[in-house]
Amino acid sequence: MNLSKSKYCNAIQCKKMLWLDTFLPAEKGEISNQAILDNGTEVGIKAKELFGTYIDIDFQKDLSVMLNDTKKAIESNENAIITEASFDYNHNFCSVDILRKMGEKYEIYEVKSSTEIKDIYKEDASYQHYVLTKLGYNVVKVFIVYLNSHYIRKGELDLNSLFIKEDITDFAKERSLTVENNIQEINEYMKQKEEPRKDIGIYCTKPYDCPFFAYCTKKLEKPNIFDIRGMRFSSKIKYYNQGLISFQDLLNEKINEKYKEQIDFEINKKEDKVEKEKIKEFLNTLERPLYFLDFETFQQAIPMYDDISPYEQIPFQYSLHIINEKNELSHKEFLAEPNIDPRRKLAEQLVKDIPLDVCTIAYNMSFEKNVIKKLASLYSDLREHLMNIHNHMKDLMIPFYNRDYYSKDMQGSYSIKYVLPALFPNDPSLNYHELEEVHNGSEAMNAYINMGNLPIGKQQELRKNLLKYCELDTFAMVKILEKLQEIIEKAD
């Protein structure tokens, strides 16, 4: 078997994952996010700059070209930084993100776009250390290079503060024999012609969600323990291992009331639950005029603008529906131009659009509140107004979070993406699937990030679709509020 860093790491998580990926790749589910991949590329480029001048080994489909180019770079330089330096020992291939050559000594730097070190990163670097050591290279140091979450950009990017280099040399050295054994075991495992029998377990989500989970659980009765919302995966596996798998199995078990309620409602096809007084109590906290607010944000692994940390949420768009004292509905919106720092303009527009002392409603408001608080900390002239908006916010999620209103169709979730279709099952105007191009927050983020690179015509189309998507988020809130009022009136 020809192994690589990623194949080795997949097999460390679960050998069957590698087997399925090799022999049944069509069964793989989709879990990657383009923005994460792009962030990874950007981090890789910046991490290389950390080392000054470097020789880059170009990616080639024919790996032997990369191996040859690496050999040449090593042989013709006494001291050098070589990126994507590629090696193969006995069909175990690896490209080292950054290799430092100092005469006869070598240092390995494995770059990660994360803000913390995961055990799997150490396994990855240990595999590289093993390959190079077996080929006779004197590897004296092994580092993981990752992002410093406390870094806040001020002026020029300070790469030395942005990145953290963690020395894991001792771990990699001690791991050598284990890596060798692992490689042997993986090779044996991969010889199997029949699909290996392996039950699901905690490793199905650790360290990463396995893309074959749907395949490996396809024979389980539906709905089952893995459909319970909010329960930790480790607890689900515990019940699964006890044979408590289908909702029927779980119905009479001692489990948290919320989980039990989900099961009970779905199995017994119960009517909607309405805690009239509690919903009324919530509605009474809302005073007209009402401002329904929703932000869209994006994140950058490498902060492009001042006062931003890696992966901080940067608002670029909002939608605002307004119900005035006469119960009339109007709409305002903001969408920043691409490739600029959108924050100041957005904050200025927001304080123009939302007056002081009015009730602003969000769904899961902690997100909107955090965005506003951050803007207030940046712009002292707008601080008072922004904090006024912040302090007058109400959360429309509350009746659903508390299950004062609950329907079996919410499937245990209080997310607006479940609540909305449960309340309005046949309304295409409230169906995110009916939208073009942008259907969820991560698609909105990707669309905005990429918009600047598109031809003008395509940009305009994307802008239109982004605006429609965000508008639906706040329009949905308006409809949900109307529905709650209607339900209360009916119950009276």
Residues at the contact surface with ligand SF4, assessed by CB under 6 A: 14, 16-17, 20, 198, 200, 203-204, 210, 212-213, 216
CB of 155 to ligand SF4, least distance (A): 45
CB of 190 to ligand SF4, least distance (A): 13
Compare residues 203 and 367 and give the one whose CB is closer to ligand SF4.
Answer: 203
> What DSSP string describes 155-208?
SS--HHHHEEEEE-HHHHHHHHHHHHHHHHHHHHHTT-SSPPP----GGGTSSS
Compare residues 235 and 446 and give the one whose CB is closer to ligand SF4.
Answer: 235
For residue 319, give the H/E element and its range: strand 314-323
Distance CA 113, CA 39 (A): 7
Whether residue 98 contacts residue 54, with contact meaning beta carbons closer than 8 Å, is answered with yes
CB of 116 to ligand SF4, least distance (A): 22
CB of 227 to ligand SF4, least distance (A): 16
CB of 193 to ligand SF4, least distance (A): 17
Compare residues 84 and 123 and give the one whose CB is closer to ligand SF4.
Answer: 123
- Written as six digits, the tokens of 131 are 């390959």
CB of 217 to ligand SF4, least distance (A): 7
Distance CA 178, CA 185 (A): 10
Compare residues 35 and 210 and give the one whose CB is closer to ligand SF4.
Answer: 210
Cβ atoms within 10 Å of 270's Cβ, excluding its own? 13
Compare residues 14 and 354 and give the one whose CB is closer to ligand SF4.
Answer: 14
CB of 455 to ligand SF4, least distance (A): 41
Distance CA 471, CA 474 (A): 6
Compare residues 215 and 311 and give the one whose CB is closer to ligand SF4.
Answer: 215
- In which order are the strands placed within the sheet that holds 314-323? 329-335, 314-323, 290-298, 359-362, 393-395
Compare residues 212 and 259 and give the one whose CB is closer to ligand SF4.
Answer: 212
Whether residue 160 contacts residue 126, with contact meaning beta carbons closer than 8 Å, is answered with no
Compare residues 213 and 233 and give the one whose CB is closer to ligand SF4.
Answer: 213
Longest dimension (CA), the chain: 86
Cβ atoms within 10 Å of 50's Cβ, excluding its own? 17
Distance CA 88, CA 86 (A): 7
Compare residues 31 and 329 and give the one whose CB is closer to ligand SF4.
Answer: 31
Compare residues 212 and 414 and give the one whose CB is closer to ligand SF4.
Answer: 212
Q: Which residues lie closer than 8 Å to 231 by C-beta, 6 or more apart?
A: 225, 256, 259
Cβ atoms within 10 Å of 477's Cβ, excluding its own? 23
> What DSSP string describes 133-158?
HHTT-EEEEEEEEEE-TT----SS--
Alpha helix positions (H), 309-364:
343-353
CB of 17 to ligand SF4, least distance (A): 4
CB of 30 to ligand SF4, least distance (A): 14
Compare residues 198 and 464 and give the one whose CB is closer to ligand SF4.
Answer: 198
CB of 201 to ligand SF4, least distance (A): 7
Distance CA 44, CA 104 (A): 26
- Structure letter (DSSP) for residue 107: E
Q: Which residues lie closer than 8 Å to 250 by C-beta, 6 or more apart?
A: 225, 228, 239, 244, 259, 260, 263
Compare residues 165 and 198 and give the one whose CB is closer to ligand SF4.
Answer: 198
Q: Is 414 left (phi over 0), alpha (psi -120 to 50) or beta?
A: alpha
- Taken in order 237, 242, 244, 250, is the CA torsion positive or negative? negative
- 23-34 exposure pattern, b = at least 16 Cβ within 10 A, e = fewer: eeeeeeeeeeee
CB of 124 to ligand SF4, least distance (A): 17
CB of 19 to ligand SF4, least distance (A): 8
Compare residues 6 and 248 and give the one whose CB is closer to ligand SF4.
Answer: 6
> What DSSP string describes 10-49?
HHHH-HHHHHHHHH-GGGPPP---HHHHHHHHHHHHHHHH
Distance CA 492, CA 483 (A): 14
CB of 211 to ligand SF4, least distance (A): 8
